[in-house]
A = this chain, B = another copy of it.
Amino acid sequence: MESGTKGRRSDATRNRARILEIAEECFAEHGLEVPLDTIAKQAGVGAGTLYRHFPNRETLIAALVADRIGDLQQIHHDLVAAKLTAGTRLERWLEAIRTWMTSYDGLPDPLREAWEKDATMLGAHCRPVVDMTDQLLRDAQQHGDARPDLSGRDLYLANLGAAWAASAPLADSQSGASIVDILGSGWRATTP
């Protein structure tokens, strides 16, 4: 009963990976609401197996998102080392997280749902992103590139809203750009 345990485990690992892979495809293609059954079937595993690895849709999304967070951390790392003004770094960072926030159609919704709910898998995963945002913001603030009265939380949430809004059915890329622009400079005219 003990023999081959490792074998089993590798099977499980492989299954988990395969599910993730297929889930990514399905989510990307049919949106975040695809029946979990569909994913299981396409991954060639039973529904129960999917469930064992990911007790609910949120967990599955979280796992997928976690993967991308690795990329984000890399970007953060590179950005910190980059020869750029702190303001530009933050700018690039915000762009990166908005891209991340729209990895899948409909992703902003669970992301908002998980907002600061550290208890949830997804919420926990997001925490470092907020932290990294905060760090870059602090830096920009110290260099006088960002308003001193904002927090990383604020900026993260505002960008999440922007990402969400830019996904409106008929919103052209121009709209998205404008929203981002507003986020950066506000709608007010800067009085000279």
A positions within 8 Å CB-CB of B: 87, 90, 112-113, 115-117, 137, 141, 144-151, 153-155, 157-158, 160-162, 164-171, 175, 178-179, 181-191
Residues of B within 8 A of A153 (CB): 175
B183–A183 CB distance below 8 A: yes
Question: In the complex, how many angstroms separate the beta carbon of A189 from the nearest chain B beta carbon?
Answer: 5
Known A154-B179, A164-B164, A179-B157: A116·B170 in contact at CB below 8 Å: yes
Taking CB as reference atom, which chain B residue is nearest A91? B188
Q: With A157-B171, A161-B179 as given contacts, are A150 and B187 in contact (CB-CB < 8 Å)?
A: yes
Taken together, the copies of this chain in the complex come to 4
User: CA separation between A191 and B150, bound complex, in Å?
Assistant: 16
Q: Are B189 and A186 in contact (CB under 8 A)?
A: no
Which 6 pairs across A and B sit closest by C-beta, in order of nearness? A161-B165, A161-B161, A186-B186, A154-B178, A185-B186, A115-B168
Give the complex CA separation of A153 and B165 in angstroms. Answer: 12
A155 engages B187 (CB within 8 Å): yes
Complex Cα–Cα for A14 and B169 (A): 36
A188 touches B147 (CB 8 A): yes
Contact status of A165 and B116, CB under 8 A, knowing A186-B182, A187-B147: no
